[in-house]
Structure 1
Amino acid sequence: MLHKTQGIVLRPVKYGDTSLVVTIFTEQFGIQAYMVKGVRVTGATRNRASYFQPGTLLDMVVYMQHGKNMQLIREYHAAYIYTSVHESVTKNSILMFSAELMLRLLPEHAPLPDLFTAASKYLISLDTADPRHVANYPLWFLALCSRLLGYDPRGSYGPATPYLDREYGGFSAHPPAYPPYTTTEDAFALHQVLLANDHDAIQGIAINSEMRSRLIDWYIAFLQQYTQHLGNIRSLPVLRSVLH
Protein backbone atom coordinates (compact mmCIF):
# COMPACT_ATOMS: atom_id res chain seq x y z
CA MET A 1 0.00 0.00 0.00
CA LEU A 2 1.21 3.52 -0.82
CA HIS A 3 1.50 6.21 1.84
CA LYS A 4 2.64 9.84 1.90
CA THR A 5 5.02 10.68 4.70
CA GLN A 6 7.87 13.01 5.53
CA GLY A 7 11.23 11.65 6.58
CA ILE A 8 14.64 12.56 7.97
CA VAL A 9 17.51 10.64 6.40
CA LEU A 10 19.72 9.07 9.05
CA ARG A 11 22.14 6.79 7.17
CA PRO A 12 22.78 5.80 3.53
CA VAL A 13 24.70 2.60 2.76
CA LYS A 14 25.89 1.68 -0.73
CA TYR A 15 24.23 -1.42 -2.20
CA GLY A 16 25.49 -2.99 -5.39
CA ASP A 17 26.81 -0.73 -8.13
CA THR A 18 24.04 1.87 -8.30
CA SER A 19 21.71 1.58 -5.31
CA LEU A 20 21.45 2.60 -1.66
CA VAL A 21 19.91 1.14 1.46
CA VAL A 22 18.76 4.19 3.40
CA THR A 23 17.63 4.35 7.03
CA ILE A 24 15.00 7.08 7.40
CA PHE A 25 13.11 8.39 10.42
CA THR A 26 9.58 8.76 9.01
CA GLU A 27 6.73 10.73 10.49
CA GLN A 28 4.18 7.94 10.04
CA PHE A 29 6.16 4.75 10.57
CA GLY A 30 9.18 5.65 12.69
CA ILE A 31 12.56 4.35 11.58
CA GLN A 32 12.43 2.30 8.39
CA ALA A 33 15.00 0.93 5.94
CA TYR A 34 14.40 1.63 2.25
CA MET A 35 15.95 0.27 -0.92
CA VAL A 36 16.56 3.13 -3.37
CA LYS A 37 17.58 1.81 -6.77
CA GLY A 38 19.63 3.47 -9.48
CA VAL A 39 20.61 6.68 -7.68
CA ARG A 40 24.38 6.21 -7.92
CA VAL A 41 24.64 6.18 -11.72
CA THR A 42 26.64 8.69 -13.73
CA GLY A 43 25.12 11.27 -16.03
CA ALA A 44 22.07 13.46 -15.55
CA THR A 45 20.70 11.50 -12.57
CA ARG A 46 23.88 11.39 -10.53
CA ASN A 47 22.70 14.11 -8.14
CA ARG A 48 19.78 11.99 -6.95
CA ALA A 49 22.03 10.39 -4.34
CA SER A 50 22.38 13.80 -2.67
CA TYR A 51 18.76 13.49 -1.50
CA PHE A 52 19.88 10.73 0.85
CA GLN A 53 22.61 12.45 2.84
CA PRO A 54 22.21 12.33 6.66
CA GLY A 55 19.87 15.03 7.93
CA THR A 56 18.04 15.62 4.64
CA LEU A 57 14.31 16.28 5.09
CA LEU A 58 12.16 14.54 2.47
CA ASP A 59 8.58 14.39 1.27
CA MET A 60 8.02 10.81 0.17
CA VAL A 61 5.49 8.38 -1.26
CA VAL A 62 6.45 4.95 0.06
CA TYR A 63 5.31 1.37 -0.12
CA MET A 64 4.55 -0.02 3.32
CA GLN A 65 4.34 -3.77 3.78
CA HIS A 66 4.16 -4.72 7.45
CA GLY A 67 6.47 -7.54 8.45
CA LYS A 68 9.13 -6.64 5.88
CA ASN A 69 12.48 -5.28 7.00
CA MET A 70 13.07 -3.43 3.72
CA GLN A 71 10.59 -1.05 2.11
CA LEU A 72 10.58 0.82 -1.22
CA ILE A 73 10.22 4.50 -2.07
CA ARG A 74 8.11 5.41 -5.09
CA GLU A 75 8.58 9.20 -5.07
CA TYR A 76 10.73 11.65 -3.13
CA HIS A 77 11.74 15.29 -3.14
CA ALA A 78 13.25 17.72 -0.66
CA ALA A 79 10.86 18.94 2.03
CA TYR A 80 13.39 21.62 2.99
CA ILE A 81 16.54 22.78 1.22
CA TYR A 82 19.39 23.69 3.54
CA THR A 83 20.99 27.07 2.89
CA SER A 84 23.96 27.05 5.29
CA VAL A 85 24.36 23.67 7.03
CA HIS A 86 26.62 22.15 4.39
CA GLU A 87 28.79 25.27 4.11
CA SER A 88 29.45 25.54 7.86
CA VAL A 89 31.82 23.01 9.45
CA THR A 90 30.23 23.61 12.86
CA LYS A 91 26.65 23.24 11.66
CA ASN A 92 27.44 20.21 9.53
CA SER A 93 29.15 18.49 12.48
CA ILE A 94 26.08 19.15 14.63
CA LEU A 95 23.84 17.81 11.85
CA MET A 96 25.85 14.58 11.60
CA PHE A 97 25.85 14.11 15.36
CA SER A 98 22.09 14.69 15.55
CA ALA A 99 21.36 12.22 12.74
CA GLU A 100 23.58 9.56 14.32
CA LEU A 101 21.98 10.11 17.71
CA MET A 102 18.52 9.45 16.25
CA LEU A 103 19.82 6.43 14.34
CA ARG A 104 21.25 4.82 17.48
CA LEU A 105 18.71 5.99 20.05
CA LEU A 106 15.26 5.68 18.47
CA PRO A 107 13.47 2.31 18.39
CA GLU A 108 12.83 0.80 14.96
CA HIS A 109 9.36 0.76 13.40
CA ALA A 110 7.83 2.80 16.25
CA PRO A 111 5.91 5.92 15.16
CA LEU A 112 7.08 8.95 17.14
CA PRO A 113 5.24 11.86 15.49
CA ASP A 114 5.92 14.38 18.27
CA LEU A 115 9.64 13.66 18.18
CA PHE A 116 9.65 13.77 14.38
CA THR A 117 8.03 17.22 14.38
CA ALA A 118 10.43 18.50 17.05
CA ALA A 119 13.48 17.08 15.22
CA SER A 120 12.41 18.64 11.92
CA LYS A 121 11.99 22.07 13.52
CA TYR A 122 15.33 21.67 15.27
CA LEU A 123 17.18 20.89 12.02
CA ILE A 124 15.59 23.83 10.20
CA SER A 125 16.48 26.09 13.14
CA LEU A 126 20.07 24.83 13.00
CA ASP A 127 20.21 25.83 9.33
CA THR A 128 18.81 29.34 9.86
CA ALA A 129 20.62 30.18 13.13
CA ASP A 130 23.71 32.35 13.35
CA PRO A 131 26.65 29.89 13.31
CA ARG A 132 28.16 31.73 16.29
CA HIS A 133 25.18 30.71 18.44
CA VAL A 134 24.69 26.99 17.73
CA ALA A 135 27.21 25.42 20.14
CA ASN A 136 24.49 24.43 22.63
CA TYR A 137 22.30 22.75 20.01
CA PRO A 138 23.70 19.19 20.43
CA LEU A 139 23.16 19.24 24.20
CA TRP A 140 19.67 20.67 23.79
CA PHE A 141 18.82 17.98 21.21
CA LEU A 142 20.00 15.26 23.59
CA ALA A 143 17.67 16.64 26.24
CA LEU A 144 14.81 17.01 23.73
CA CYS A 145 15.06 13.41 22.51
CA SER A 146 15.40 12.16 26.09
CA ARG A 147 12.28 14.00 27.23
CA LEU A 148 10.12 12.93 24.29
CA LEU A 149 11.19 9.30 24.77
CA GLY A 150 10.25 9.49 28.45
CA TYR A 151 13.78 9.52 29.87
CA ASP A 152 13.80 12.67 31.99
CA PRO A 153 16.57 13.12 34.59
CA ARG A 154 15.24 12.59 38.10
CA GLY A 155 14.62 15.54 40.39
CA SER A 156 15.64 19.13 39.73
CA TYR A 157 18.51 21.46 40.49
CA GLY A 158 18.41 23.29 43.83
CA PRO A 159 20.35 24.00 47.04
CA ALA A 160 19.66 20.49 48.31
CA THR A 161 20.41 18.76 44.98
CA PRO A 162 23.27 20.66 43.31
CA TYR A 163 24.98 17.67 41.65
CA LEU A 164 24.43 15.43 38.64
CA ASP A 165 24.73 11.72 39.32
CA ARG A 166 24.39 9.35 36.39
CA GLU A 167 24.02 6.31 38.67
CA TYR A 168 21.11 8.00 40.43
CA GLY A 169 19.76 9.20 37.13
CA GLY A 170 19.51 12.91 37.77
CA PHE A 171 20.07 15.70 40.27
CA SER A 172 21.48 14.54 43.58
CA ALA A 173 22.52 15.81 47.00
CA HIS A 174 25.90 14.11 46.64
CA PRO A 175 28.71 14.45 44.08
CA PRO A 176 29.00 11.53 41.62
CA ALA A 177 31.09 8.59 42.77
CA TYR A 178 31.59 7.29 39.21
CA PRO A 179 32.30 8.97 35.86
CA PRO A 180 31.31 11.03 34.05
CA TYR A 181 32.19 13.51 36.78
CA THR A 182 30.43 16.86 36.80
CA THR A 183 30.48 20.03 38.89
CA THR A 184 27.71 22.01 40.54
CA GLU A 185 28.16 24.58 37.77
CA ASP A 186 27.52 21.81 35.23
CA ALA A 187 24.33 20.84 37.06
CA PHE A 188 23.05 24.41 37.01
CA ALA A 189 23.83 24.71 33.28
CA LEU A 190 21.91 21.51 32.53
CA HIS A 191 19.05 22.83 34.64
CA GLN A 192 18.92 25.86 32.33
CA VAL A 193 19.04 23.66 29.24
CA LEU A 194 16.14 21.56 30.51
CA LEU A 195 14.09 24.71 31.07
CA ALA A 196 14.74 26.04 27.55
CA ASN A 197 11.59 25.55 25.50
CA ASP A 198 12.78 26.85 22.13
CA HIS A 199 15.85 27.38 20.01
CA ASP A 200 16.20 31.05 20.90
CA ALA A 201 16.36 30.21 24.61
CA ILE A 202 19.11 27.63 24.17
CA GLN A 203 21.29 30.11 22.27
CA GLY A 204 21.36 32.47 25.25
CA ILE A 205 22.70 29.98 27.83
CA ALA A 206 26.37 30.61 28.65
CA ILE A 207 28.25 27.27 28.63
CA ASN A 208 31.96 27.01 27.93
CA SER A 209 33.41 24.21 25.80
CA GLU A 210 34.72 22.11 28.71
CA MET A 211 31.40 22.27 30.52
CA ARG A 212 29.50 21.46 27.34
CA SER A 213 31.70 18.45 26.68
CA ARG A 214 31.16 17.10 30.21
CA LEU A 215 27.39 17.57 29.95
CA ILE A 216 27.18 15.82 26.57
CA ASP A 217 29.18 12.91 28.04
CA TRP A 218 26.85 12.84 31.05
CA TYR A 219 23.71 12.82 28.93
CA ILE A 220 24.97 10.08 26.63
CA ALA A 221 25.93 7.95 29.65
CA PHE A 222 22.51 8.70 31.17
CA LEU A 223 20.73 7.51 28.00
CA GLN A 224 22.93 4.42 27.73
CA GLN A 225 21.30 3.21 30.94
CA TYR A 226 17.97 2.95 29.13
CA THR A 227 18.95 1.56 25.74
CA GLN A 228 21.48 -1.16 25.02
CA HIS A 229 21.91 -0.23 21.35
CA LEU A 230 22.95 3.42 21.79
CA GLY A 231 26.63 2.53 22.06
CA ASN A 232 29.34 5.00 21.16
CA ILE A 233 28.53 8.01 18.98
CA ARG A 234 31.18 7.93 16.26
CA SER A 235 30.62 11.54 15.21
CA LEU A 236 31.24 12.82 18.76
CA PRO A 237 35.05 13.32 18.44
CA VAL A 238 34.51 15.51 15.36
CA LEU A 239 31.83 17.47 17.19
CA ARG A 240 34.20 18.06 20.10
CA SER A 241 36.91 19.33 17.77
CA VAL A 242 34.69 22.01 16.26
CA LEU A 243 32.96 23.10 19.47
CA HIS A 244 36.19 24.22 21.12
Structure 2
Amino acid sequence: MVVATKAIVFSAIKYSEADLIVSCFTEVAGIKSYLLRNILKSKKGKLKASYFQPLTQLEIIAEHKNKGTLEYIKEAKVFQPYQTLHTDIIKSGLVMFLSEMLRNCIREEEANTELYGFLENSLLWLDQNDEVANFHIFFLLQLSMYLGFYPDATNIEAKYFNIMEGNFQAVNTNNYCLEGQQIENFKNFFTVDFEFINKIKLSKNERQNLLELVLSYYSFHVQGYQKPKSLAVLNQLFS
Protein backbone atom coordinates (compact mmCIF):
# COMPACT_ATOMS: atom_id res chain seq x y z
CA MET A 1 0.00 0.00 0.00
CA VAL A 2 1.40 3.38 -1.03
CA VAL A 3 0.82 6.13 1.54
CA ALA A 4 1.56 9.85 1.68
CA THR A 5 2.22 11.08 5.19
CA LYS A 6 4.13 13.48 7.35
CA ALA A 7 6.89 11.84 9.37
CA ILE A 8 9.34 12.78 12.11
CA VAL A 9 12.71 11.03 12.01
CA PHE A 10 13.63 9.32 15.29
CA SER A 11 16.87 7.64 14.20
CA ALA A 12 19.02 6.67 11.22
CA ILE A 13 21.48 3.79 11.54
CA LYS A 14 24.06 2.88 8.93
CA TYR A 15 23.48 -0.59 7.49
CA SER A 16 26.11 -2.25 5.32
CA GLU A 17 28.28 0.10 3.29
CA ALA A 18 25.79 2.55 1.82
CA ASP A 19 22.36 1.89 3.32
CA LEU A 20 20.44 3.43 6.21
CA ILE A 21 17.75 1.95 8.43
CA VAL A 22 15.54 4.84 9.45
CA SER A 23 12.93 4.88 12.20
CA CYS A 24 10.16 7.45 11.78
CA PHE A 25 7.02 8.37 13.63
CA THR A 26 4.45 8.82 10.88
CA GLU A 27 1.20 10.72 11.14
CA VAL A 28 -0.88 7.97 9.52
CA ALA A 29 0.74 4.77 10.81
CA GLY A 30 2.76 5.48 13.95
CA ILE A 31 6.26 4.03 14.13
CA LYS A 32 7.68 2.68 10.89
CA SER A 33 11.18 1.50 9.99
CA TYR A 34 12.51 1.95 6.47
CA LEU A 35 15.47 0.55 4.54
CA LEU A 36 17.04 3.23 2.36
CA ARG A 37 19.32 1.46 -0.09
CA ASN A 38 22.51 3.09 -1.39
CA ILE A 39 21.52 6.48 0.05
CA LEU A 40 25.02 7.14 1.41
CA LYS A 41 26.60 6.83 -2.04
CA SER A 42 23.99 7.91 -4.54
CA LYS A 43 23.99 11.61 -5.52
CA LYS A 44 21.24 11.37 -8.11
CA GLY A 45 18.46 9.71 -6.13
CA LYS A 46 15.31 11.37 -4.82
CA LEU A 47 16.40 10.71 -1.23
CA LYS A 48 19.25 12.49 0.52
CA ALA A 49 20.91 11.33 3.73
CA SER A 50 20.66 14.88 5.11
CA TYR A 51 16.87 14.52 5.21
CA PHE A 52 17.17 11.88 7.92
CA GLN A 53 18.83 13.77 10.76
CA PRO A 54 17.11 13.15 14.13
CA LEU A 55 13.74 14.91 14.56
CA THR A 56 13.65 16.26 11.00
CA GLN A 57 10.06 16.76 9.85
CA LEU A 58 9.36 15.25 6.45
CA GLU A 59 6.66 14.63 3.92
CA ILE A 60 7.12 11.15 2.48
CA ILE A 61 5.56 8.82 -0.02
CA ALA A 62 6.17 5.30 1.20
CA GLU A 63 5.23 1.74 0.47
CA HIS A 64 3.86 0.02 3.58
CA LYS A 65 3.46 -3.73 3.41
CA ASN A 66 2.57 -3.89 7.12
CA LYS A 67 4.14 -7.30 7.60
CA GLY A 68 6.56 -6.37 10.36
CA THR A 69 9.43 -5.98 7.92
CA LEU A 70 11.37 -2.92 6.83
CA GLU A 71 9.32 -0.61 4.62
CA TYR A 72 10.37 1.47 1.61
CA ILE A 73 10.36 5.26 1.08
CA LYS A 74 9.83 6.27 -2.55
CA GLU A 75 10.02 10.05 -2.12
CA ALA A 76 10.78 12.49 0.69
CA LYS A 77 11.07 16.22 1.20
CA VAL A 78 11.59 18.37 4.24
CA PHE A 79 8.25 19.61 5.52
CA GLN A 80 9.43 22.08 8.18
CA PRO A 81 12.98 23.34 7.57
CA TYR A 82 14.74 24.09 10.86
CA GLN A 83 16.84 27.19 11.35
CA THR A 84 18.74 26.31 14.54
CA LEU A 85 17.86 22.79 15.70
CA HIS A 86 20.82 21.05 14.08
CA THR A 87 23.34 23.92 14.25
CA ASP A 88 23.00 25.31 17.79
CA ILE A 89 25.12 23.12 20.09
CA ILE A 90 22.64 23.22 22.98
CA LYS A 91 19.68 22.44 20.77
CA SER A 92 21.52 19.66 18.93
CA GLY A 93 22.25 18.09 22.31
CA LEU A 94 18.55 18.32 23.18
CA VAL A 95 17.69 16.76 19.82
CA MET A 96 20.01 13.82 20.54
CA PHE A 97 18.47 13.31 23.98
CA LEU A 98 14.83 13.75 22.95
CA SER A 99 15.10 11.52 19.90
CA GLU A 100 16.49 8.77 22.12
CA MET A 101 13.68 9.25 24.63
CA LEU A 102 11.06 9.16 21.88
CA ARG A 103 12.51 5.94 20.44
CA ASN A 104 12.40 4.53 23.94
CA CYS A 105 8.78 5.47 24.65
CA ILE A 106 6.87 5.35 21.35
CA ARG A 107 6.60 1.96 19.68
CA GLU A 108 3.02 1.67 18.41
CA GLU A 109 2.39 1.09 14.72
CA GLU A 110 -0.86 3.00 14.70
CA ALA A 111 -1.92 6.57 14.03
CA ASN A 112 -1.92 9.03 16.92
CA THR A 113 -2.62 12.42 15.40
CA GLU A 114 -2.75 14.25 18.73
CA LEU A 115 0.69 12.98 19.71
CA TYR A 116 2.03 13.78 16.25
CA GLY A 117 0.69 17.33 16.46
CA PHE A 118 2.27 17.80 19.89
CA LEU A 119 5.69 16.66 18.61
CA GLU A 120 5.43 18.77 15.47
CA ASN A 121 4.53 21.97 17.34
CA SER A 122 7.00 21.39 20.19
CA LEU A 123 9.93 20.93 17.84
CA LEU A 124 9.03 24.08 15.93
CA TRP A 125 8.92 26.00 19.21
CA LEU A 126 12.34 24.65 20.16
CA ASP A 127 13.73 25.68 16.78
CA GLN A 128 12.33 29.20 16.98
CA ASN A 129 13.15 30.14 20.58
CA ASP A 130 16.43 30.91 22.31
CA GLU A 131 15.75 30.33 26.01
CA VAL A 132 15.39 26.55 26.07
CA ALA A 133 17.11 25.39 29.27
CA ASN A 134 13.82 24.10 30.73
CA PHE A 135 12.40 22.79 27.45
CA HIS A 136 13.22 19.10 27.87
CA ILE A 137 11.70 18.90 31.36
CA PHE A 138 8.44 20.53 30.28
CA PHE A 139 8.41 18.52 27.04
CA LEU A 140 8.73 15.19 28.88
CA LEU A 141 6.03 16.15 31.36
CA GLN A 142 3.64 17.04 28.52
CA LEU A 143 4.64 13.94 26.55
CA SER A 144 3.55 11.76 29.47
CA MET A 145 0.01 13.06 28.90
CA TYR A 146 -0.05 11.66 25.36
CA LEU A 147 1.54 8.41 26.53
CA GLY A 148 -1.11 7.94 29.21
CA PHE A 149 0.69 8.51 32.50
CA TYR A 150 0.53 12.26 33.16
CA PRO A 151 0.75 12.79 36.94
CA ASP A 152 -2.46 13.42 38.87
CA ALA A 153 -2.09 17.00 40.09
CA THR A 154 -5.40 17.15 41.95
CA ASN A 155 -3.58 17.54 45.28
CA ILE A 156 -0.58 19.44 43.95
CA GLU A 157 -0.30 21.49 47.16
CA ALA A 158 0.53 18.31 49.09
CA LYS A 159 4.06 17.77 50.37
CA TYR A 160 4.92 14.46 48.72
CA PHE A 161 5.01 13.18 45.14
CA ASN A 162 4.53 9.43 44.82
CA ILE A 163 6.69 8.53 41.85
CA MET A 164 5.17 5.07 41.48
CA GLU A 165 1.50 6.09 41.75
CA GLY A 166 2.01 9.36 39.92
CA ASN A 167 0.20 11.64 42.34
CA PHE A 168 0.76 14.22 45.05
CA GLN A 169 -0.17 13.24 48.60
CA ALA A 170 -0.04 14.68 52.09
CA VAL A 171 1.34 11.55 53.78
CA ASN A 172 4.45 9.48 53.11
CA THR A 173 3.02 6.02 52.39
CA ASN A 174 5.99 4.16 50.88
CA ASN A 175 9.60 4.42 49.71
CA TYR A 176 8.49 6.02 46.45
CA CYS A 177 7.24 9.24 48.08
CA LEU A 178 9.61 12.15 47.47
CA GLU A 179 9.62 15.58 49.08
CA GLY A 180 11.72 18.74 49.26
CA GLN A 181 12.87 21.42 46.85
CA GLN A 182 13.03 18.97 43.93
CA ILE A 183 9.28 18.39 44.24
CA GLU A 184 8.52 22.09 44.71
CA ASN A 185 10.46 22.81 41.50
CA PHE A 186 8.53 20.04 39.75
CA LYS A 187 5.20 21.64 40.68
CA ASN A 188 6.09 24.81 38.78
CA PHE A 189 5.91 22.95 35.47
CA PHE A 190 2.22 22.09 35.92
CA THR A 191 1.01 25.68 35.69
CA VAL A 192 2.83 27.04 32.63
CA ASP A 193 2.95 26.51 28.88
CA PHE A 194 5.90 26.67 26.50
CA GLU A 195 5.80 30.46 26.31
CA PHE A 196 6.55 30.82 30.02
CA ILE A 197 8.91 27.96 30.85
CA ASN A 198 11.86 30.35 30.81
CA LYS A 199 10.24 32.15 33.77
CA ILE A 200 10.97 29.12 35.96
CA LYS A 201 14.33 29.89 37.51
CA LEU A 202 16.48 26.88 38.36
CA SER A 203 20.15 26.47 39.16
CA LYS A 204 22.11 23.96 37.08
CA ASN A 205 22.01 21.42 39.92
CA GLU A 206 18.28 21.92 40.47
CA ARG A 207 17.57 21.42 36.77
CA GLN A 208 19.69 18.27 36.65
CA ASN A 209 18.01 16.87 39.78
CA LEU A 210 14.59 17.64 38.34
CA LEU A 211 15.43 15.87 35.10
CA GLU A 212 16.53 12.83 37.11
CA LEU A 213 13.15 12.90 38.85
CA VAL A 214 11.28 13.00 35.53
CA LEU A 215 13.37 10.17 34.10
CA SER A 216 12.80 8.10 37.24
CA TYR A 217 9.08 8.69 36.78
CA TYR A 218 9.35 7.47 33.18
CA SER A 219 11.24 4.38 34.34
CA PHE A 220 8.19 3.36 36.40
CA HIS A 221 5.65 3.97 33.66
CA VAL A 222 7.30 3.04 30.35
CA GLN A 223 7.52 -0.68 29.71
CA GLY A 224 11.06 -1.68 28.82
CA TYR A 225 12.41 1.78 29.65
CA GLN A 226 16.16 2.24 29.14
CA LYS A 227 18.14 5.11 30.58
CA PRO A 228 19.17 7.35 27.65
CA LYS A 229 22.85 7.11 26.77
CA SER A 230 22.82 10.75 25.66
CA LEU A 231 21.98 11.95 29.18
CA ALA A 232 25.66 12.41 30.05
CA VAL A 233 26.15 14.64 27.00
CA LEU A 234 23.08 16.68 27.89
CA ASN A 235 24.26 17.19 31.46
CA GLN A 236 27.64 18.38 30.18
CA LEU A 237 25.99 20.94 27.89
CA PHE A 238 23.96 22.37 30.76
CA SER A 239 26.77 22.24 33.33
Instruction: Calculate the TM-score normalised by the size of structure 1.
Output: 0.89
CA contact (8 A) 1:157 1:188 kept: no
2:146 counterpart residue number: 148
CA contact (8 A) 1:9 1:25 kept: yes
| Aligned counterparts, 1:130-209, within 5 A | 130=130, 133-156=131-154, 158-159=156-157, 161-174=158-171, 178=175, 183-197=179-193, 199-209=194-204
Deviations 1:43-92 (A, max 9, x none): 56699111111111111011112223211101001111111122211111
Q: One-letter code of the match for 2:6?
A: Q
State the distance in 2 between where 1:156 and 1:122 align. Answer: 25
CA contact (8 A) 2:27 2:111 kept: yes
Q: One-letter code of the match for 2:181?
A: E
Q: What is the identity percentage for the equivalent residue pairs of Structure 1 and Structure 2?
A: 24
2:109 counterpart residue number: 109
CA positional deviation for 1:156 = 4.1
2:211 counterpart residue number: 216
State the distance in 2 between where 1:210 and 1:91 align. Answer: 19
CA positional deviation for 1:148 = 1.1
| Aligned counterparts, 1:5-154, within 5 A | 5-41=5-41, 48-130=48-130, 133-154=131-152
State the distance in 2 between where 1:166 and 1:237 align. Answer: 23
Instruction: Calculate the TM-score normalised by the size of structure 2.
Output: 0.91
SS of the counterpart of 1:80? coil
Deviations 1:105-151 (A, max 9, x none): 01231322111111111111111101xx1011110111111011110
Q: Which consecutive unaligned segments of at least 5 residues does structure 2 have? A: none
State the distance in 1 between where 2:117 and 2:59 align. Answer: 13
CA RMSD of aligned residues (A): 2.3
Deviations 1:186-205 (A, max 9, x none): 223222212223x2122222
State the distance in 1 between where 2:24 and 2:70 align. Answer: 11
**Which is further off, 71-80 or 102-111?**
102-111
Count the aligned residue pairs. Answer: 239
CA contact (8 A) 1:164 1:176 kept: no
CA contact (8 A) 2:47 2:75 kept: no
Q: One-letter code of the match for 1:137?
A: F
State the distance in 2 between where 1:156 and 1:11 align. Answer: 37
CA contact (8 A) 1:9 1:22 kept: yes
State the distance in 2 between where 1:101 and 1:215 align. Answer: 16
Q: Which consecutive unaligned segments of at least 5 residues does structure 1 have? A: none
Q: One-letter code of the match for 1:205?
A: I
Deviations 1:209-232 (A, max 9, x none): 222212211121112222232211
Q: Does 1:226 align with 2:221?
A: yes
SS of the counterpart of 1:138? helix
CA positional deviation for 1:158 = 4.3
State the distance in 2 between where 1:39 and 1:176 align. Answer: 56
Q: One-letter code of the match for 2:164?
A: E
CA contact (8 A) 2:156 2:187 kept: no
